[in-house]
Structure 1
């Protein structure tokens, strides 16, 4: 009996051991995968926080060209500020010619829940597919929207500029006014949509594709002028601020990730500039990227 029992135990062990080993390897593999996913996620979220802080600290490190760009943005914003009321009247006078679809797109695309839905989807796709390039893009979008979003919320209350629809004119300010009527600067819709589209546009080298994506990002800001929710100077400065933040965070992420969208763009610097132009009875904003 002992010999028979021992033989049976040996047979049982020979049968069970391989299966047990496979199960152990399977569990170990899943655990490693889970840990890797978690490590990637925590690393990325750390870079979101680090990127936001880096963007806020950049003005302390500005040099000659940076101050020239700042001066150009300040001059352009001042020019628009002086013409805000004329621009508002010109746009509102033909609002009926604007397709309602564009107005709806401008409103809903700038809503925070919709914007973060897009940025979150891009990031999670990169995270779960283990695509570092897509992860980096998602981190850039989330960090940029967060940094710009915090600035625009504080600025709205601090500046207290009256909205066009309030009827007080473009020179009326009430800092810490609290009321929605005094939250014209900057435009939250313009900030969020432009940080998102500008971040996406950086993934492409083709200027037509890049320009098309950025063009889509301009629509929400323009529609807010038509809706008399913001002045032209509010929107234009929101675009410039968003581009500055995206560029700053992108430079920070260069140190953190090996993959940077298209390989041919790795060595290129992307600078966003805009200038106010006059021609006869027309006024325009020229974007350079």
Structure 2
């Protein structure tokens, strides 16, 4: 019998390889000016180093306050969307609409093509959507704390608050849109009133897909620049996890797409705000006289 913990252990080794190459810079104060040899930031004074503008979180009041600030920033993002953002949104919603129309034939296709090997593989990747991802995020944080690796500790906290925010938004949507699961209903258009307690109507959106995509996007944001393979592996794993939910008849295809999209865009928003904060800090250094 296949040992499903093998996948989790393999991810721990991958995380360890990333940890071994992570920087250990410390920037806990917004007014901190470390004297290291990091290269100056492009376009700014040569006296300003990249490490000067880092903002690395620890569990404290500042971190918890940032969760609330990130929530407000994320929810208000559509107000500030540009043309390309609306095009992306339209593409996602258009694809979701096509899938919604095709949900039944897609379900029929997967149910008619059930194979032992594919089923085993689907069972192997499915836990990334409800068990492995949260544990890996917690593992990142604890590894960073125990090894005094500030970048890894910060990365775990960034991924954790991304998951908290995406899950909160997901829970709100799921409590209002009570869609019947394909496991219980033959057709995809079964709904009940909002806030119903009937567990059969908990299909939209896919929580597994949201969780694994939140983790995947965080990994891509944290390590994608230095390790080009990370986004490919992370997003590929997220996609396979979403497919496993369709294959096991737990979600409609449109549920999965919206879950993946929600996890991705919420996490991107969290990291975007963080980059904006570091940019603002860089500008403060630029226009503050050095004595």
TM-score (norm: length of structure 2):
0.68
CA distance 1:56–1:130, change in 2 (3 Å): farther
**Corresponding residue number in structure 1 for 2:173:** 155
Matched, 1:142 2:160: yes
**Corresponding residue number in structure 1 for 2:284:** none
Which among 93, 98, 103 is matched to residue 79 of structure 1?
Answer: 98
Matched, 1:46 2:60: no
Instruction: Assess if the C-alpha contact under 8 Å between 2:179 and 2:191 holds in 1.
Output: yes
**Corresponding residue number in structure 2 for 1:220:** 241
Instruction: Assess if the C-alpha contact under 8 Å between 1:162 and 1:172 holds in 2.
Output: yes
**Corresponding residue number in structure 2 for 1:94:** 113
Which moved further from structure 2: 121-130 or 211-220?
Answer: 121-130
- Report the RMSD for the aligned CA atoms in angstroms: 2.2
CA distance 1:99–1:168, change in 2 (3 Å): closer
CA distance 1:128–1:58, change in 2 (3 Å): farther
Q: Describe the superposition over 1:30-73 as per-residue Cα deviations: whole angstroms up to 9, x where unpaired.
A: xxxxxxxxx93213343334323322221222222211111111
CA distance 1:249–1:232, change in 2 (3 Å): same
**Corresponding residue number in structure 1 for 2:13:** none
Instruction: Tell me, in whole angstroms, the C-alpha distance in 2 between the residues paired with 1:252 and 1:49.
Output: 12
Instruction: Assess if the C-alpha contact under 8 Å between 1:106 and 1:189 holds in 2.
Output: no
TM-score (norm: length of structure 1):
0.69
Instruction: Tell me, in whole angstroms, the C-alpha distance in 1 between the residues paired with 2:107 and 2:228.
Output: 30
Higher helix proportion, which one? 1
Matched, 1:204 2:224: yes
CA distance 1:95–1:257, change in 2 (3 Å): farther
CA deviation after TM superposition for structure 1 residue 255, in Å? 4.1
Structure 2 alignment gaps of length 5 or more? 1-56, 280-291
**Corresponding residue number in structure 2 for 1:182:** 201
CA distance 1:251–1:45, change in 2 (3 Å): same
Number of matched pairs: 219
Instruction: Assess if the C-alpha contact under 8 Å between 1:122 and 1:135 holds in 2.
Output: yes
Instruction: Assess if the C-alpha contact under 8 Å between 1:126 and 1:133 holds in 2.
Output: yes
Matched, 1:239 2:272: no
Structure 1 alignment gaps of length 5 or more? 1-38, 259-289
Instruction: Tell me, in whole angstroms, the C-alpha distance in 1 between the residues paired with 2:257 and 2:87.
Output: 17
Q: Describe the superposition over 1:123-145 as per-residue Cα deviations: whole angstroms up to 9, x where unpaired.
A: 23223434332233212211111
Instruction: Assess if the C-alpha contact under 8 Å between 2:137 and 2:159 holds in 1.
Output: yes
Matched, 1:192 2:211: yes
Instruction: Tell me, in whole angstroms, the C-alpha distance in 2 between the residues paired with 1:137 and 1:160.
Output: 34
Instruction: Assess if the C-alpha contact under 8 Å between 2:58 and 2:154 holds in 1.
Output: no
